[in-house]
Structure 1
Amino acid sequence: MSPRPEPAALHGLRFAFGTLTVFRVRVARWDRPSAGRAMLAAPLVGLVLGAPAGALGALFAWHGAPLLGAVAAVALLAALTRGLHLDGLADVADGLGSGKPAEDALRIMKQSDIGPFGVLTLVLALFAQVACLAALFGHSPRHGALAVLTAAVAGRCALGWGCLRSVPAARPGGLGAMVAGTVSPAAQLAGTLGCAALLSLARPWLGISLTAGQLAAALLLRRCVRRFGGITGDVLGALLETAQTATLVLLTVNPWLP
Protein backbone atom coordinates (compact mmCIF):
# COMPACT_ATOMS: atom_id res chain seq x y z
CA MET A 1 0.00 0.00 0.00
CA SER A 2 1.55 3.30 -1.13
CA PRO A 3 1.95 6.06 1.50
CA ARG A 4 -0.52 8.93 1.45
CA PRO A 5 0.84 11.98 -0.38
CA GLU A 6 1.61 14.99 1.78
CA PRO A 7 -0.83 17.92 1.58
CA ALA A 8 0.23 20.74 -0.73
CA ALA A 9 0.24 23.18 2.19
CA LEU A 10 2.83 21.06 3.98
CA HIS A 11 5.10 21.21 0.94
CA GLY A 12 4.80 25.00 1.11
CA LEU A 13 5.74 25.00 4.78
CA ARG A 14 8.75 22.81 4.10
CA PHE A 15 9.80 25.13 1.31
CA ALA A 16 9.40 28.19 3.56
CA PHE A 17 11.39 26.85 6.50
CA GLY A 18 13.96 25.18 4.26
CA THR A 19 14.81 28.36 2.38
CA LEU A 20 14.23 31.07 5.01
CA THR A 21 15.85 29.51 8.08
CA VAL A 22 18.85 27.46 9.20
CA PHE A 23 16.54 24.61 10.20
CA ARG A 24 17.28 21.33 8.47
CA VAL A 25 14.04 20.74 6.65
CA ARG A 26 13.66 18.29 3.78
CA VAL A 27 12.16 20.18 0.84
CA ALA A 28 10.29 17.45 -1.02
CA ARG A 29 8.94 19.63 -3.82
CA TRP A 30 10.98 22.40 -5.42
CA ASP A 31 8.44 23.88 -7.84
CA ARG A 32 6.60 27.15 -8.38
CA PRO A 33 3.28 26.13 -6.78
CA SER A 34 5.14 25.14 -3.61
CA ALA A 35 7.14 28.38 -3.80
CA GLY A 36 3.94 30.42 -3.87
CA ARG A 37 2.56 28.57 -0.85
CA ALA A 38 5.90 29.10 0.91
CA MET A 39 5.73 32.86 0.45
CA LEU A 40 2.21 32.91 1.87
CA ALA A 41 3.40 30.80 4.81
CA ALA A 42 6.43 33.03 5.43
CA PRO A 43 4.75 35.01 8.27
CA LEU A 44 4.54 31.74 10.21
CA VAL A 45 8.32 31.50 9.85
CA GLY A 46 8.52 35.00 11.31
CA LEU A 47 6.43 33.88 14.28
CA VAL A 48 8.67 30.86 14.91
CA LEU A 49 11.85 32.97 14.68
CA GLY A 50 10.54 36.06 16.44
CA ALA A 51 9.29 34.24 19.53
CA PRO A 52 12.68 32.95 20.77
CA ALA A 53 14.46 36.15 19.69
CA GLY A 54 11.97 38.25 21.62
CA ALA A 55 12.20 35.96 24.64
CA LEU A 56 15.99 36.15 24.65
CA GLY A 57 15.92 39.94 24.48
CA ALA A 58 13.33 40.09 27.24
CA LEU A 59 15.51 37.89 29.45
CA PHE A 60 18.39 40.35 29.25
CA ALA A 61 16.05 43.32 29.67
CA TRP A 62 14.54 41.66 32.75
CA HIS A 63 18.03 41.66 34.27
CA GLY A 64 18.51 45.36 33.60
CA ALA A 65 20.34 45.20 30.26
CA PRO A 66 17.89 46.41 27.57
CA LEU A 67 20.65 47.34 25.10
CA LEU A 68 22.22 43.92 25.41
CA GLY A 69 18.76 42.43 24.98
CA ALA A 70 18.27 44.38 21.77
CA VAL A 71 21.61 43.20 20.40
CA ALA A 72 20.85 39.61 21.39
CA ALA A 73 17.44 39.66 19.68
CA VAL A 74 18.81 41.10 16.44
CA ALA A 75 21.77 38.71 16.51
CA LEU A 76 19.57 35.65 17.05
CA LEU A 77 17.29 36.59 14.16
CA ALA A 78 20.36 36.95 11.95
CA ALA A 79 21.81 33.66 13.14
CA LEU A 80 18.57 31.75 12.55
CA THR A 81 18.55 32.96 8.93
CA ARG A 82 22.32 32.78 8.23
CA GLY A 83 22.23 36.55 7.72
CA LEU A 84 20.64 35.83 4.34
CA HIS A 85 18.31 38.84 4.32
CA LEU A 86 20.92 41.25 5.61
CA ASP A 87 23.19 40.14 2.78
CA GLY A 88 20.35 40.83 0.33
CA LEU A 89 19.86 44.31 1.77
CA ALA A 90 23.55 45.13 1.33
CA ASP A 91 23.62 43.77 -2.23
CA VAL A 92 20.54 45.75 -3.25
CA ALA A 93 22.05 48.92 -1.77
CA ASP A 94 25.18 48.37 -3.86
CA GLY A 95 23.11 47.73 -6.97
CA LEU A 96 20.92 50.79 -6.52
CA GLY A 97 23.83 52.97 -5.49
CA SER A 98 26.03 51.99 -8.42
CA GLY A 99 24.08 54.13 -10.90
CA LYS A 100 24.83 51.56 -13.62
CA PRO A 101 22.41 49.99 -16.14
CA ALA A 102 20.26 47.12 -14.90
CA GLU A 103 22.48 44.36 -16.26
CA ASP A 104 25.61 45.79 -14.65
CA ALA A 105 23.79 46.51 -11.39
CA LEU A 106 22.57 42.91 -11.21
CA ARG A 107 26.12 41.71 -11.80
CA ILE A 108 27.33 43.90 -8.93
CA MET A 109 24.64 42.46 -6.67
CA LYS A 110 25.70 38.91 -7.53
CA GLN A 111 29.33 39.47 -6.51
CA SER A 112 30.42 38.05 -3.18
CA ASP A 113 31.97 41.27 -1.86
CA ILE A 114 30.11 44.22 -0.33
CA GLY A 115 30.66 47.77 -1.56
CA PRO A 116 30.47 51.06 0.35
CA PHE A 117 26.73 51.55 -0.22
CA GLY A 118 26.06 48.06 1.10
CA VAL A 119 28.23 48.52 4.18
CA LEU A 120 26.66 51.87 5.04
CA THR A 121 23.11 50.60 4.56
CA LEU A 122 23.79 47.47 6.58
CA VAL A 123 25.33 49.39 9.48
CA LEU A 124 22.53 51.96 9.58
CA ALA A 125 19.81 49.31 9.39
CA LEU A 126 21.31 47.27 12.22
CA PHE A 127 21.90 50.38 14.32
CA ALA A 128 18.29 51.43 13.77
CA GLN A 129 16.96 48.01 14.76
CA VAL A 130 19.11 47.84 17.88
CA ALA A 131 18.30 51.43 18.89
CA CYS A 132 14.56 50.85 18.52
CA LEU A 133 14.61 47.60 20.45
CA ALA A 134 16.81 49.05 23.19
CA ALA A 135 14.18 51.74 23.74
CA LEU A 136 11.35 49.22 23.71
CA PHE A 137 13.08 46.72 25.99
CA GLY A 138 14.01 49.66 28.22
CA HIS A 139 10.32 50.45 28.59
CA SER A 140 9.49 46.88 29.52
CA PRO A 141 10.64 43.37 28.53
CA ARG A 142 7.13 42.60 27.27
CA HIS A 143 7.06 45.62 24.95
CA GLY A 144 10.41 44.61 23.51
CA ALA A 145 9.42 40.98 23.01
CA LEU A 146 6.18 41.96 21.25
CA ALA A 147 8.13 44.35 19.02
CA VAL A 148 10.59 41.65 17.98
CA LEU A 149 7.74 39.26 17.20
CA THR A 150 5.80 41.89 15.23
CA ALA A 151 8.84 42.97 13.22
CA ALA A 152 9.77 39.37 12.37
CA VAL A 153 6.26 38.66 11.10
CA ALA A 154 6.08 41.99 9.24
CA GLY A 155 9.34 41.27 7.43
CA ARG A 156 8.11 37.89 6.20
CA CYS A 157 4.74 39.35 5.18
CA ALA A 158 6.66 41.62 2.81
CA LEU A 159 8.04 38.63 0.89
CA GLY A 160 4.63 37.82 -0.56
CA TRP A 161 4.20 41.33 -1.97
CA GLY A 162 7.46 40.91 -3.85
CA CYS A 163 6.18 37.68 -5.39
CA LEU A 164 2.83 38.90 -6.70
CA ARG A 165 1.81 37.71 -10.15
CA SER A 166 2.34 41.20 -11.54
CA VAL A 167 6.01 41.33 -10.44
CA PRO A 168 8.51 39.72 -12.84
CA ALA A 169 11.90 38.19 -12.13
CA ALA A 170 14.92 40.35 -12.94
CA ARG A 171 16.90 37.38 -14.26
CA PRO A 172 16.05 33.79 -15.24
CA GLY A 173 17.94 31.90 -12.53
CA GLY A 174 18.03 31.79 -8.75
CA LEU A 175 15.47 31.87 -5.97
CA GLY A 176 13.96 35.11 -7.27
CA ALA A 177 12.99 33.50 -10.56
CA MET A 178 11.55 30.50 -8.73
CA VAL A 179 9.20 32.53 -6.52
CA ALA A 180 8.47 35.53 -8.79
CA GLY A 181 4.85 35.77 -9.90
CA THR A 182 3.65 32.89 -7.72
CA VAL A 183 1.42 34.71 -5.22
CA SER A 184 -2.19 35.71 -5.73
CA PRO A 185 -2.88 39.35 -4.75
CA ALA A 186 -6.09 38.34 -2.96
CA ALA A 187 -4.35 35.62 -0.94
CA GLN A 188 -1.49 37.95 -0.01
CA LEU A 189 -3.86 40.73 1.06
CA ALA A 190 -5.88 38.29 3.15
CA GLY A 191 -2.75 36.91 4.78
CA THR A 192 -1.35 40.35 5.61
CA LEU A 193 -4.65 41.62 7.01
CA GLY A 194 -5.00 38.41 9.01
CA CYS A 195 -1.55 38.89 10.57
CA ALA A 196 -2.33 42.54 11.35
CA ALA A 197 -5.65 41.59 12.92
CA LEU A 198 -4.14 38.86 15.10
CA LEU A 199 -1.37 41.15 16.34
CA SER A 200 -3.91 43.88 17.02
CA LEU A 201 -5.58 41.58 19.52
CA ALA A 202 -2.52 42.07 21.72
CA ARG A 203 -2.05 45.79 20.99
CA PRO A 204 -3.78 47.74 18.19
CA TRP A 205 -0.57 49.55 17.33
CA LEU A 206 1.15 46.27 16.52
CA GLY A 207 -1.13 45.68 13.55
CA ILE A 208 -0.82 49.29 12.42
CA SER A 209 2.96 49.10 12.56
CA LEU A 210 3.00 45.85 10.59
CA THR A 211 0.90 47.50 7.89
CA ALA A 212 3.21 50.50 7.76
CA GLY A 213 6.15 48.14 7.34
CA GLN A 214 4.49 46.72 4.23
CA LEU A 215 4.15 50.20 2.76
CA ALA A 216 7.86 50.87 3.30
CA ALA A 217 8.71 47.59 1.57
CA ALA A 218 6.33 48.44 -1.28
CA LEU A 219 8.22 51.67 -1.97
CA LEU A 220 11.50 49.76 -2.19
CA LEU A 221 9.88 47.10 -4.38
CA ARG A 222 8.65 49.72 -6.81
CA ARG A 223 12.14 51.21 -7.01
CA CYS A 224 13.78 47.83 -7.58
CA VAL A 225 11.35 46.75 -10.29
CA ARG A 226 11.92 50.01 -12.15
CA ARG A 227 15.68 49.84 -11.66
CA PHE A 228 16.38 46.12 -12.20
CA GLY A 229 13.36 45.05 -14.23
CA GLY A 230 12.04 42.74 -11.52
CA ILE A 231 12.98 40.94 -8.32
CA THR A 232 15.85 38.73 -7.26
CA GLY A 233 16.50 36.80 -4.07
CA ASP A 234 18.51 39.81 -2.87
CA VAL A 235 15.56 42.12 -3.47
CA LEU A 236 13.33 39.87 -1.38
CA GLY A 237 15.86 39.98 1.44
CA ALA A 238 15.99 43.76 1.21
CA LEU A 239 12.18 43.96 1.33
CA LEU A 240 12.15 41.83 4.47
CA GLU A 241 14.74 43.94 6.28
CA THR A 242 13.09 47.18 5.18
CA ALA A 243 9.67 46.10 6.47
CA GLN A 244 11.23 44.82 9.68
CA THR A 245 13.14 48.05 10.35
CA ALA A 246 10.23 50.33 9.45
CA THR A 247 7.95 48.36 11.76
CA LEU A 248 10.38 48.75 14.66
CA VAL A 249 10.73 52.48 14.05
CA LEU A 250 6.98 53.00 14.15
CA LEU A 251 6.64 50.83 17.25
CA THR A 252 9.24 52.98 18.99
CA VAL A 253 7.31 56.23 18.40
CA ASN A 254 3.83 54.85 19.03
CA PRO A 255 1.09 56.27 21.26
CA TRP A 256 0.71 53.24 23.55
CA LEU A 257 4.05 53.98 25.15
CA PRO A 258 3.55 56.51 27.99
Structure 2
Amino acid sequence: MALGTLTALPVPAPRRIDRRVAGTAMLLSPVAALPLAALALGVVLLGDLAGLPPLGTAALAVGAVALGTRGLHLDGLADTADGLGLAAKARLSPESDGRERALEIMRRGDSGPAGIATLVLVLVLQCAALAGAVAEGHGAAAAVIAVFASRAVLPLCCARGVPSARPGGLGDAVAGTAPISLACLWLVVLAGGSALAPGLPWWQGPLAVLAGFVVAGALLARCVQRLGGITGDVLGACVEAAATATLLVLSG
Protein backbone atom coordinates (compact mmCIF):
# COMPACT_ATOMS: atom_id res chain seq x y z
CA MET A 1 0.00 0.00 0.00
CA ALA A 2 2.85 2.38 0.80
CA LEU A 3 4.56 1.88 -2.56
CA GLY A 4 1.34 1.80 -4.55
CA THR A 5 0.02 4.99 -2.96
CA LEU A 6 3.20 7.07 -2.80
CA THR A 7 4.94 6.01 -6.02
CA ALA A 8 4.08 5.04 -9.57
CA LEU A 9 5.72 1.62 -9.20
CA PRO A 10 3.50 -1.21 -10.48
CA VAL A 11 3.07 -3.24 -7.30
CA PRO A 12 0.30 -5.70 -6.44
CA ALA A 13 -2.69 -4.28 -4.59
CA PRO A 14 -2.95 -5.11 -0.88
CA ARG A 15 -5.03 -8.20 -0.13
CA ARG A 16 -6.93 -6.19 2.46
CA ILE A 17 -7.03 -2.55 3.53
CA ASP A 18 -8.05 -1.66 7.06
CA ARG A 19 -6.87 0.95 9.52
CA ARG A 20 -4.01 -1.22 10.72
CA VAL A 21 -2.70 -1.76 7.19
CA ALA A 22 -3.21 1.90 6.28
CA GLY A 23 -1.48 3.12 9.43
CA THR A 24 1.49 0.82 8.86
CA ALA A 25 1.75 2.05 5.27
CA MET A 26 1.98 5.65 6.48
CA LEU A 27 4.66 4.71 9.02
CA LEU A 28 6.62 3.08 6.18
CA SER A 29 6.27 6.09 3.87
CA PRO A 30 9.94 7.13 4.19
CA VAL A 31 10.95 3.58 3.24
CA ALA A 32 8.62 3.72 0.25
CA ALA A 33 10.40 6.94 -0.76
CA LEU A 34 13.64 5.05 -1.49
CA PRO A 35 12.92 4.71 -5.25
CA LEU A 36 12.06 8.40 -5.47
CA ALA A 37 15.22 9.41 -3.62
CA ALA A 38 17.29 7.21 -5.95
CA LEU A 39 15.57 8.79 -8.95
CA ALA A 40 16.26 12.33 -7.73
CA LEU A 41 19.87 11.43 -6.92
CA GLY A 42 20.41 9.93 -10.36
CA VAL A 43 18.98 12.94 -12.19
CA VAL A 44 21.12 15.40 -10.24
CA LEU A 45 24.29 13.37 -10.77
CA LEU A 46 23.58 12.96 -14.49
CA GLY A 47 22.83 16.67 -14.79
CA ASP A 48 26.17 17.51 -13.21
CA LEU A 49 27.93 15.00 -15.45
CA ALA A 50 26.30 16.45 -18.56
CA GLY A 51 27.22 20.00 -17.56
CA LEU A 52 23.63 21.24 -17.43
CA PRO A 53 22.97 24.59 -15.78
CA PRO A 54 21.91 24.23 -12.12
CA LEU A 55 18.35 25.36 -12.81
CA GLY A 56 17.99 22.85 -15.63
CA THR A 57 19.23 20.03 -13.42
CA ALA A 58 16.93 21.10 -10.60
CA ALA A 59 13.88 21.32 -12.86
CA LEU A 60 14.54 17.85 -14.25
CA ALA A 61 14.94 16.39 -10.74
CA VAL A 62 11.76 18.03 -9.43
CA GLY A 63 9.89 16.89 -12.53
CA ALA A 64 11.21 13.34 -12.24
CA VAL A 65 10.01 13.04 -8.65
CA ALA A 66 6.63 14.44 -9.66
CA LEU A 67 6.35 11.84 -12.42
CA GLY A 68 7.44 9.18 -9.96
CA THR A 69 4.37 9.97 -7.86
CA ARG A 70 1.97 10.50 -10.79
CA GLY A 71 1.74 14.13 -9.64
CA LEU A 72 -0.34 12.93 -6.69
CA HIS A 73 1.06 15.28 -4.08
CA LEU A 74 1.04 18.30 -6.39
CA ASP A 75 -2.61 17.63 -7.16
CA GLY A 76 -3.31 17.47 -3.42
CA LEU A 77 -1.48 20.76 -2.91
CA ALA A 78 -3.59 22.55 -5.52
CA ASP A 79 -6.86 21.10 -4.20
CA THR A 80 -5.97 21.97 -0.61
CA ALA A 81 -5.12 25.56 -1.56
CA ASP A 82 -8.49 25.91 -3.26
CA GLY A 83 -10.27 24.40 -0.26
CA LEU A 84 -8.53 26.59 2.29
CA GLY A 85 -9.13 29.67 0.17
CA LEU A 86 -12.84 28.95 -0.06
CA ALA A 87 -13.08 28.15 3.64
CA ALA A 88 -11.38 31.43 4.52
CA LYS A 89 -13.78 33.41 2.31
CA ALA A 90 -16.76 31.65 3.84
CA ARG A 91 -15.77 32.85 7.31
CA LEU A 92 -16.87 36.31 6.24
CA SER A 93 -20.40 34.98 5.90
CA PRO A 94 -22.40 34.49 9.12
CA GLU A 95 -24.57 31.82 7.50
CA SER A 96 -21.93 29.11 7.04
CA ASP A 97 -18.31 28.30 7.80
CA GLY A 98 -17.97 26.86 4.28
CA ARG A 99 -16.32 23.62 5.40
CA GLU A 100 -18.60 21.29 3.45
CA ARG A 101 -18.38 23.47 0.35
CA ALA A 102 -14.59 23.55 0.62
CA LEU A 103 -14.42 19.76 0.91
CA GLU A 104 -16.70 19.40 -2.10
CA ILE A 105 -14.41 21.67 -4.14
CA MET A 106 -11.41 19.58 -3.10
CA ARG A 107 -13.19 16.35 -4.01
CA ARG A 108 -13.93 17.59 -7.55
CA GLY A 109 -10.24 17.80 -8.33
CA ASP A 110 -10.23 20.68 -10.83
CA SER A 111 -7.95 23.55 -9.83
CA GLY A 112 -9.06 27.15 -9.31
CA PRO A 113 -6.97 30.33 -9.18
CA ALA A 114 -5.71 29.72 -5.63
CA GLY A 115 -4.66 26.18 -6.45
CA ILE A 116 -2.88 27.10 -9.69
CA ALA A 117 -1.08 30.07 -8.12
CA THR A 118 0.06 27.94 -5.17
CA LEU A 119 1.21 25.14 -7.46
CA VAL A 120 3.28 27.49 -9.62
CA LEU A 121 4.81 29.25 -6.61
CA VAL A 122 5.79 25.98 -4.90
CA LEU A 123 7.34 24.52 -8.06
CA VAL A 124 9.31 27.72 -8.68
CA LEU A 125 10.57 27.69 -5.09
CA GLN A 126 11.54 24.02 -5.26
CA CYS A 127 13.42 24.39 -8.53
CA ALA A 128 15.17 27.61 -7.45
CA ALA A 129 16.17 26.17 -4.07
CA LEU A 130 17.49 22.92 -5.53
CA ALA A 131 19.33 24.90 -8.22
CA GLY A 132 21.06 26.85 -5.45
CA ALA A 133 22.11 23.60 -3.80
CA VAL A 134 23.38 22.23 -7.13
CA ALA A 135 25.39 25.40 -7.71
CA GLU A 136 26.94 25.04 -4.24
CA GLY A 137 27.94 21.44 -4.97
CA HIS A 138 25.53 19.61 -2.65
CA GLY A 139 22.52 19.21 -4.94
CA ALA A 140 22.50 15.43 -4.69
CA ALA A 141 22.41 15.49 -0.88
CA ALA A 142 19.71 18.18 -0.90
CA ALA A 143 17.49 16.22 -3.29
CA VAL A 144 17.74 13.01 -1.27
CA ILE A 145 17.15 14.71 2.09
CA ALA A 146 14.13 16.60 0.72
CA VAL A 147 12.51 13.44 -0.65
CA PHE A 148 12.92 11.51 2.59
CA ALA A 149 12.00 14.39 4.91
CA SER A 150 8.86 15.28 2.98
CA ARG A 151 7.55 11.70 3.07
CA ALA A 152 8.46 11.34 6.74
CA VAL A 153 5.89 13.99 7.66
CA LEU A 154 3.07 11.64 6.67
CA PRO A 155 3.13 9.71 9.98
CA LEU A 156 2.92 13.07 11.76
CA CYS A 157 -0.13 14.01 9.68
CA CYS A 158 -1.73 10.66 10.58
CA ALA A 159 -0.80 10.76 14.27
CA ARG A 160 -3.33 9.81 16.89
CA GLY A 161 -5.62 12.71 17.68
CA VAL A 162 -5.65 14.02 14.09
CA PRO A 163 -9.23 13.67 12.81
CA SER A 164 -10.55 12.89 9.35
CA ALA A 165 -12.31 15.73 7.54
CA ARG A 166 -14.89 13.46 5.92
CA PRO A 167 -15.83 9.78 5.76
CA GLY A 168 -14.32 7.71 3.00
CA GLY A 169 -11.10 8.12 1.08
CA LEU A 170 -7.45 7.89 2.06
CA GLY A 171 -7.66 10.55 4.77
CA ASP A 172 -10.36 8.69 6.65
CA ALA A 173 -8.46 5.40 6.37
CA VAL A 174 -5.22 6.76 7.87
CA ALA A 175 -6.35 9.56 10.22
CA GLY A 176 -5.25 8.90 13.79
CA THR A 177 -3.53 5.60 12.99
CA ALA A 178 0.13 6.47 13.70
CA PRO A 179 1.56 6.54 17.24
CA ILE A 180 3.00 9.98 17.94
CA SER A 181 6.21 8.45 19.30
CA LEU A 182 6.90 6.65 16.01
CA ALA A 183 6.05 9.75 13.99
CA CYS A 184 8.61 11.72 16.02
CA LEU A 185 11.12 8.89 15.69
CA TRP A 186 11.35 9.51 11.95
CA LEU A 187 12.27 13.13 12.67
CA VAL A 188 15.10 12.02 14.94
CA VAL A 189 16.36 9.35 12.52
CA LEU A 190 16.35 11.62 9.48
CA ALA A 191 17.83 14.57 11.34
CA GLY A 192 20.64 12.36 12.60
CA GLY A 193 21.24 10.82 9.20
CA SER A 194 21.25 14.16 7.39
CA ALA A 195 23.97 15.43 9.74
CA LEU A 196 26.28 13.00 7.92
CA ALA A 197 25.33 14.15 4.41
CA PRO A 198 28.41 14.87 2.28
CA GLY A 199 29.07 18.46 1.32
CA LEU A 200 26.93 19.97 4.08
CA PRO A 201 27.78 21.43 7.48
CA TRP A 202 26.66 19.00 10.17
CA TRP A 203 23.86 21.32 11.32
CA GLN A 204 22.31 22.21 7.95
CA GLY A 205 20.72 18.85 7.19
CA PRO A 206 19.03 18.50 10.60
CA LEU A 207 17.83 22.10 10.42
CA ALA A 208 16.32 21.44 6.99
CA VAL A 209 14.53 18.31 8.21
CA LEU A 210 13.19 20.20 11.23
CA ALA A 211 12.00 23.04 8.98
CA GLY A 212 10.11 20.57 6.81
CA PHE A 213 8.36 19.08 9.83
CA VAL A 214 7.49 22.51 11.27
CA VAL A 215 6.02 23.81 8.01
CA ALA A 216 4.06 20.60 7.41
CA GLY A 217 2.81 20.73 11.00
CA ALA A 218 1.66 24.32 10.59
CA LEU A 219 -0.22 23.45 7.40
CA LEU A 220 -1.72 20.40 9.09
CA ALA A 221 -2.98 22.53 11.99
CA ARG A 222 -4.51 25.02 9.55
CA CYS A 223 -6.31 22.27 7.67
CA VAL A 224 -7.68 20.74 10.86
CA GLN A 225 -8.93 24.17 11.93
CA ARG A 226 -10.50 25.13 8.61
CA LEU A 227 -11.55 21.76 7.19
CA GLY A 228 -12.11 19.75 10.35
CA GLY A 229 -9.34 17.23 9.70
CA ILE A 230 -7.26 15.62 6.97
CA THR A 231 -8.03 14.26 3.53
CA GLY A 232 -5.78 12.61 1.00
CA ASP A 233 -5.29 16.03 -0.59
CA VAL A 234 -4.12 17.49 2.72
CA LEU A 235 -1.54 14.74 3.02
CA GLY A 236 -0.19 15.57 -0.43
CA ALA A 237 -0.09 19.27 0.39
CA CYS A 238 1.90 18.60 3.56
CA VAL A 239 4.42 16.54 1.57
CA GLU A 240 5.00 19.35 -0.93
CA ALA A 241 5.16 22.01 1.80
CA ALA A 242 7.78 19.99 3.69
CA ALA A 243 9.83 19.39 0.54
CA THR A 244 9.83 23.11 -0.25
CA ALA A 245 10.89 24.14 3.24
CA THR A 246 13.62 21.50 3.33
CA LEU A 247 15.04 22.56 -0.02
CA LEU A 248 15.01 26.24 0.92
CA VAL A 249 17.15 25.57 3.99
CA LEU A 250 19.52 23.45 1.89
CA SER A 251 19.73 25.91 -1.00
CA GLY A 252 22.77 27.81 0.24
TM-score with structure 1 setting the length: 0.89
Deviation at 1:215, TM superposition (A): 0.2
Q: Letter of the aligned partner of 1:37 in structure 2?
A: T
Corresponding residue number in structure 2 for 1:43 = 30
CA distance in 2, matches of 1:107, 1:226: 17
Pair 1:96 & 2:95 matched:
no
Q: What's the secondary structure of 1:201's corresponding residue?
A: coil
Deviation at 1:244, TM superposition (A): 0.4
Q: 1:45–1:153: 8 Å Cα contact kept in structure 2?
A: no
Out of 6, 16, 19, the residue aligned to residue 2 of structure 2 is 16
Deviation at 1:113, TM superposition (A): 1.2
Give unpaired runs (5+ residues) of structure 1.
1-14, 254-258
Deviation at 1:247, TM superposition (A): 0.3
Q: What's the secondary structure of 2:33's corresponding residue?
A: helix
Q: Letter of the aligned partner of 1:60 in structure 2?
A: G
CA distance in 1, matches of 2:208, 2:78: 24
Deviation at 1:121, TM superposition (A): 0.2
Out of 39, 42, 59, the residue aligned to residue 71 of structure 1 is 59
Pair 1:124 & 2:110 matched:
no
Out of 53, 57, 60, the residue aligned to residue 47 of structure 2 is 60
Q: Letter of the aligned partner of 1:51 in structure 2?
A: A
Q: Which 10-residue stretch deviates more, 242-251 or 105-114? A: 105-114
Corresponding residue number in structure 1 for 2:105 = 108
How many pairs are equivalent?
237
Q: Letter of the aligned partner of 1:223 in structure 2?
A: R
Q: Letter of the aligned partner of 1:242 in structure 2?
A: A
CA distance in 1, matches of 2:57, 2:41: 9
Pair 1:150 & 2:145 matched:
yes
Pair 1:198 & 2:193 matched:
yes
Deviation at 1:164, TM superposition (A): 0.7
CA distance in 2, matches of 1:200, 1:136: 16
CA distance in 2, matches of 1:54, 1:97: 35
Corresponding residue number in structure 1 for 2:95 = none
Give unpaired runs (5+ residues) of structure 2.
91-97
- The two structures, once aligned, show a CA RMSD in angstroms of 1.1
CA distance in 1, matches of 2:111, 2:63: 20
CA distance in 2, matches of 1:58, 1:108: 40
Corresponding residue number in structure 2 for 1:29 = 16
CA distance in 2, matches of 1:241, 1:156: 9
TM-score with structure 2 setting the length: 0.91
